[in-house]
Chains A and B, each alone.
Chain A
Amino acid sequence: MHVNVKLFANLLTHVADAKVGVPFPVDLSDGATVGDLIRLLKLPADQIKVTFVNGRSRSDDWRLESGDEIGIFPPIGGG
């Protein structure tokens, strides 16, 4: 299945040519989870704070579906 992934802040440095806010397609096997996606992209798990799937925050064991939009964030704050 295909999902579209966006990376933010310092996570951008872990995927070549990733641009902020611009989704890139990723092929995953059926039934893959958020955690599987993070491992496939070789993102540092300890630097990931919040993962959104279609605008909702989801945990690592959330099962993805084809066409999902995923946004992955490190710890950030502001106000």
Chain B
Amino acid sequence: MWFIRINMSDRTYRVEPAPETYKNFGGRGMTSSVVADEVPPLSHPLGPNNKLVFSPGIVTGTAAPTSARVSVGGKSPLTGGIKEANAGTSWARDLAVMQVKALVVEGQPKDQSKSWGVKVTWDAAAGKPKVEFFDATQFEDQDLYQVFPQVYKQFGDQISIAGYGNAGQRNYANSGVVFNDESKRPSRYAGRGGLGAVMGSKRLKFILIDDKGAPGVPVADKALFEQGRKKMTDALMKHDITKPKGALNSYGTAVLINIMNEAGGLPTRNFTAGRFEGAAKIAGEAIFEGNKQRLGKELYNHACSPGCIIQCSNTWHAADGKEIASCVEYESDWALGANCGIDNLDDIAEMVRLCNAYGLDTIEAGATIAVAMQAGVIPFGDSKGAINLLHEMGKGTPMGRILGSGTATAGKVLGVTHVPTVKGQAMPAYEPRAVKGIGITYATTTMGADHTAGYTIAPEILGVSGKQDPLSPEGKAALSRAFQATTAFVDSSGHCLFIAFAILDIASGFEGMVEEANGVLGTHWSNDDVVALGASILKKERAFNEAAGIGKAADRVPEFMKTEPLPPHNQVFDVPDSALDSVFGEL
């Protein structure tokens, strides 16, 4: 198993055996370990001492279903703390089958006027991967929907692509790392936390992978792996949320719009209400029905990456049947829709397309536009104005650069006090005042406000893994802690987090995940062991953040959430600070 280190100061590379101490790591466990061990916590996120780490999950590249995820890690220019963001893409599989445990991008070229790409291929004679550099300057400052076809034309249809867009090129704190989907769109993002700018600051425009001849992922105990794979597959095929033509495959993640609205927890118009009167018009059901009307047939969703059973990625089509964008995720739909008071699906989809085209995180972009609306830059509900602001970000106008700096910075510049961020990162699509457990996750996760870090929505709203009252703070610190630790392992396994819906309800599915990992690695982890492993990853991340100056005082929601009651339930965020501190205090 290999580590590839790419040094952008002198454009050299090394392919080294993966360090023995890291042999059982993958995904988030790997990226956070390398960042914690190698990046000085006080280094500038966009300077030569930060590193950008890519790591496929433990079972990525095997026959394990729904497992083509890659984690991307580094010090975040948005939060100033450690960051892991992950995406589903063939790129993850292709890196894994070359037996690469981590690809680490280091250094920074002095000459920032040129950009470079690397192509990673399998060197059959040497029995290991090799790396070639190429000049990629010509691909800068362009719409990624125009860039990707050029790259495929030059390097062949079989490659997978990682890169950044204009946002990363301009060092925006709102910038993602883009990967291709199964139809070669630039649409799968490790979106959060500004890692696109870390890649951009190193002027590494692309990492292309051609896995021809690659040997595949070694599996230590094939029978155990197969047993686990079968249990996982059965759970995903059986659970109502994850099965074919189930909720996610039919309606996509945007199916959550209506239930969050009904629960009074759909943040609306920059987190000033928990219900949006236009919710039904932008929900997953509206996407399904709208496509049916416009295409004359039912359209079920597709996989973002190879080997996925869930297949939750939708596509929104215009009245003439042409594709506007894929994928209109719940988070994007909410951020650019309800949170901006916008109920026009065509315009929301166009905004998703623009975020993909320019390399922006849709959550941060929508939250920032909503803050700009609150400042009076454009009115709430002005979808054409919002589209224009995204173009300003992409083109790098002065206003665009302010908005590209993220919600917290834009709020300061525009004089807005009502700014929904934690550790500088915008909150996603669940209102902490209406769903207390997710507020605890937002406040305490090492990532800045991030729902995926500990998705207590499952029991608090969806009735998955039990049922808990979302308005009550009771017991929620422990709930968030347990979810955060388990998630840190799922994010290391290579599985998409959406397997959690099935494996939290179906115990054999959880066993299957552990057996798959044991089968690949030859380990003997129990269910408890993997949760403990997750907790150890959280501790590493936490230690990095504390050394970077991000401690307990940063584990808080914005003041307005403690003082302004949110309709319709008219609740404030009433979780005591002691409960927030106990999440990591008792880890």
Which residues from chain B contact A8 at a C-beta distance below 8 Å?
Answer: 258-259, 262, 285
Name the segment of B276-284, B350-358, B390-398 touching the other chain: B276-284
Could you tell me the distance in whole angstroms from the C-beta of B250 to the nearest C-beta in chain A?
Answer: 7
Contact of A78 among B264, B281, B330, B470 (CB under 8 A): B330
Contact of B247 among A12, A55, A57, A77 (CB under 8 A): A77
C-alpha spacing A78/B263, complex, angstroms: 15
Which residues from chain B contact A77 at a C-beta distance below 8 Å?
Answer: 241-242, 247-248, 255-256, 458, 462, 464, 498, 501
User: Within residues 239 to 264 of chain B, which ones have a CB less than 8 A from any CB in chain A?
Assistant: 239-242, 246-248, 250-256, 258-259, 262-264
C-alpha spacing A20/B463, complex, angstroms: 21
Question: Which size class do B's interface residues fall under?
Answer: 35 or more
User: Within residues 9 to 44 of chain A, which ones have a CB less than 8 A from any CB in chain B?
Assistant: 9-10, 12, 20-22
Could you tell me the distance in whole angstroms from the C-beta of B570 to the nearest C-beta in chain A?
Answer: 11
Q: Mark B320-334, 1 if CB is under 8 A from A, else 0.
A: 000000000111000
B213 at the interface (CB under 8 A from A): no
B63 at the interface (CB under 8 A from A): no
Which residues from chain B contact A10 at a C-beta distance below 8 Å?
Answer: 247, 250
Question: Which size class do A's interface residues fall under?
Answer: 20 to 34
Which A-chain residue is minimally distant from B251 (CB atoms)? A9
B171 at the interface (CB under 8 A from A): no
Which residues from chain A contact B254 at a C-beta distance below 8 Å?
Answer: 78
B110 at the interface (CB under 8 A from A): no
B174 at the interface (CB under 8 A from A): no
User: Within residues 28 to 79 of chain A, which ones have a CB less than 8 A from any CB in chain B?
Assistant: 47, 49-50, 52, 55-57, 71, 73-79
Contact status A21-B283, CB under 8 Å? yes
Which residues from chain A contact B15 at a C-beta distance below 8 Å?
Answer: none
Given the known inter-chain contacts A9-B284, A21-B283, A22-B280, please indicate yes or no for A73 contacting B259, CB distance below 8 A.
Answer: yes
Could you tell me the distance in whole angstroms from the C-beta of A24 to the nearest C-beta in chain B?
Answer: 13
Which residues from chain A contact B258 at a C-beta distance below 8 Å?
Answer: 8-9, 20-21, 71, 73
B568 at the interface (CB under 8 A from A): yes
Contact status A20-B283, CB under 8 Å? yes
Which residues from chain B contact A20 at a C-beta distance below 8 Å?
Answer: 258, 280, 283, 285-286, 289
Contact of A79 among B246, B281, B330, B469 (CB under 8 A): B330
Contact status B253-A55, CB under 8 Å? no
B452 at the interface (CB under 8 A from A): yes
C-alpha spacing A76/B284, complex, angstroms: 11
Contact of A9 among B239, B285, B452, B498 (CB under 8 A): B285
Which residues from chain B contact A55 at a C-beta distance below 8 Å?
Answer: 262-264, 568-569
Find the residue from A6, A12, A20, A74 having the highest chain B CB count within 10 A: A20
Which B-chain residue is minimally distant from A12 (CB atoms)? B285
C-alpha spacing A13/B159, complex, angstroms: 43
Contact of B262 among A12, A47, A52, A78 (CB under 8 A): A52
Given the known inter-chain contacts A20-B280, A20-B285, A55-B568, please indicate yes or no for A79 contacting B241, CB distance below 8 A.
Answer: no
Could you tell me the distance in whole angstroms from the C-beta of A16 to the nearest C-beta in chain B?
Answer: 16
Could you tell me the distance in whole angstroms from the C-beta of A50 to the nearest C-beta in chain B?
Answer: 5
B455 at the interface (CB under 8 A from A): yes
C-alpha spacing A10/B298, complex, angstroms: 13
**Beyond A76-B241, A76-B259: 15 further Cβ-contacts under 8 Å?**
A10-B250, A20-B283, A49-B463, A50-B462, A57-B463, A57-B470, A71-B258, A71-B259, A73-B262, A75-B247, A76-B247, A77-B242, A77-B458, A78-B254, A79-B331
Top 9 A-B residue pairs of the complex, sorted by shortest distance between their CB atoms: A21-B280, A78-B253, A75-B240, A77-B241, A71-B262, A78-B256, A20-B285, A76-B247, A77-B501
22 contacting pairs across A/B (C-beta < 8 A) = A8-B259, A9-B258, A20-B280, A21-B280, A21-B283, A22-B280, A49-B240, A50-B461, A56-B471, A75-B463, A76-B241, A76-B462, A77-B248, A77-B255, A77-B256, A77-B458, A78-B252, A78-B312, A78-B329, A79-B256, A79-B330, A79-B498
